[in-house]
A and B are shown apart, each in its own frame.
Chain A
Amino acid sequence: DAGVTQSPTHLIKTRGQQVTLRCSPKSGHDTVSWYQQALGQGPQFIFQYYEEEERQRGNFPDRFSGHQFPNYSSELNVNALLLGDSALYLCASSPPDSQYYGYTFGSGTRLTVV
């Protein structure tokens, strides 16, 4: 049974560009949360998607947006990239009615902005 799958694993972008990261949740999970983990820091909550809608949002600017598809997979989009957006982006899925319990994290996408 596959866990949470994220793609790509690594990505290099230039300042000002836009990026899309993808996440497939664990089988049976319907809720997807995205976290940003800067080097040497713990993960910071970006937002959570459930039933194709953004349910909760952390303290991130509108440049960060997302989407959830009918098959529960999700995308994270970041516009107008800044050097400070360089980080490991983690996707976590959770089962029905659990929201933040029973989290399973993916291995992340390492984004480098140059």
Chain B
Amino acid sequence: GQQLNQSPQSMFIQEGEDVSMNCTSSSIFNTWLWYKQDPGEGPVLLIALYKAGELTSNGRLTAQFGITRKDSFLNISASIPSDVGIYFCAGQLGNTPLVFGKGTRLSVIA
């Protein structure tokens, strides 16, 4: 099945550093979502974006819906140990199932 291109695949950062990850698609979406998944758990929604160009924040997280509607990025500022996990982007067009990326695995070194 279709999956979005998510990069980087993994990253190791120092506590306090900022993090940036992105997601691209060959087709357009009208909704972009960012999820975090902890070990042994299901994905939890972090941010939802519904309009091209939209920039939305949730605490230390900021995400943007790309103008072309084919990409999105997520930034995490001043990372802390509990930010460890796998971050997934998901796109949606109309009333169709979500299409997920393969995830970015984030490790934070204290």
* A binding-site residues for B, Cβ under 8 Å: 4, 33, 40-45, 48, 56, 58-59, 90, 92, 99-100, 103, 105-108
Interface residues on B, range: 20 to 34
- On whether A100 and B98 interact (CB within 8 A), knowing A42-B3, A58-B1, the answer reads yes
Known A100-B96, A103-B45; 14 more pairs at CB < 8 Å: A33-B97, A42-B3, A42-B4, A42-B88, A44-B3, A44-B100, A45-B97, A45-B99, A56-B97, A59-B1, A100-B98, A105-B44, A106-B42, A107-B40
For the residues of B in contact with A, the DSSP-based class is loop
A40 to B96, CA, bound (A): 24
Q: Which residue of B lies closest to A99 (CB)?
A: B95
- B42 with A90: CB separation less than 8 A: yes
Which B residues touch A59, using CB under 8 A? 1
**A43, A44, A90, A107: residue with the most chain B Cβ atoms closer than 10 Å:** A43
Q: Are the C-beta atoms of B103 and A4 separated by less than 8 Å?
A: no
Closest chain-A Cβ to B95's Cβ sits at a distance in Å of 5
Question: Which residues of chain B come closer than 8 Å to A4, judged between CB atoms?
Answer: 42
The 8 closest A-B pairs by CB, nearest first: A42-B100, A105-B42, A45-B97, A44-B1, A59-B1, A43-B100, A107-B41, A105-B43
